[in-house]
Amino acid sequence: MCDISNEWDNASEEWIESLQFNQVRTNILIPETLKNLGDINGKRILDLGCGEGGYSRLFASKGAIVVGVDYSENLINEALKQNQADEIEYYVRDACFLEGIEDEKFDFVVSAMCLVAVENLESAIKEAFRVLKPGGEFIISILHPCFGFKDYFNEGPYQEEILSEHFGKPITFWHKTLSNTINCMLNAGFNLRLLYEPQFSRDNSKIPKILLLKFIK
């Protein structure tokens, strides 16, 4: 199983409050994820690392049958609290060990900024592959691994204060090279269908900060 601390439980309240200021999520991640999913009415989606359930609720509002999993019990409790119609199933699960979730159950697995906080990337990818139907799609967004590191090839944990203006608690992420990330996917049996580096229009940065990838089983 992945070695994940309780950092997200400790930071859960501050994270939930910070979402109203998270323009990257609102203006880039959510629209691009929905565009890549297409018509999801009646489709089964696993929201891997669902957090407080924002993506899950959005998918359900578009007719998808949604299961959300997250390692943080506090965030799952918040997701359950906001799941007023009880249309979404939520479970506290490690992304590397999706206990109780059946093989080949889902049309899509969506991982929005989750895999950057997973130490054992290979295990998490294998689990995503297992629960996807043949032909199912794995759509992920991650921090772009190619920029922001003095030693790009030095893989391992680092701490960062995400959304530092509104979210001050440090969170541990796991840096992995782009080749390692993609090769883990290919070795699990996935085929790469899309690699996209969105440009942030709100600043003058010429370096991509987010990477979106789509794989098919």
Helix 178-188 and helix 121-131: axis angle, to 10°?
Answer: 40
Of the candidates 44, 48, 54, 65, the one whose C-alpha atom is nearest the C-alpha of residue 22 is 54
Do 169 and 13 meet the contact criterion of CB atoms below 8 Å apart?
Answer: no
Q: Three-state SS string across 17-46, please? A: HHHHHCHHHHHHHHHHHHHHHCCCCCCEEE
Going from the C-alpha of 180 to that of each of 20, 87, 105, 194, the distances in angstroms are 33, 37, 27, 17
Q: What is the mean pLDDT of the chain?
A: 87
Quick check: pTM over 0.75? yes
Can you list the positions of beta strands (E) in the chain? 44-48, 65-70, 89-92, 106-112, 132-143, 156-160, 171-175, 191-196, 210-216
Q: Pick the residue with more confidence: 18 or 108?
A: 108
By CB neighbour count within 10 A (0-12 exposed, 13-18 middle, 19+ buried), where does 130 fall? middle
- 65-70 and 44-48 strand pairing: parallel
- pLDDT-wise least confident of 31-35, 204-208, 209-213: 204-208
Percent of the chain with pLDDT over 90: 61
Domain ranges of the chain: 7-216
- pLDDT-wise least confident of 1-5, 18-22, 31-35: 1-5
What per-residue confidence (pLDDT) applies to 164? 46
- The model's pLDDT over 131-173, given as tens digits with 9 standing for 90+, comes to 999 999 999 999 999 987 889 999 999 876 554 455 566 778 8
Fold for domain 7-216? Rossmann fold (3.40.50)
- The model's pLDDT over 7-28, given as tens digits with 9 standing for 90+, comes to 766 766 666 666 666 677 778 8
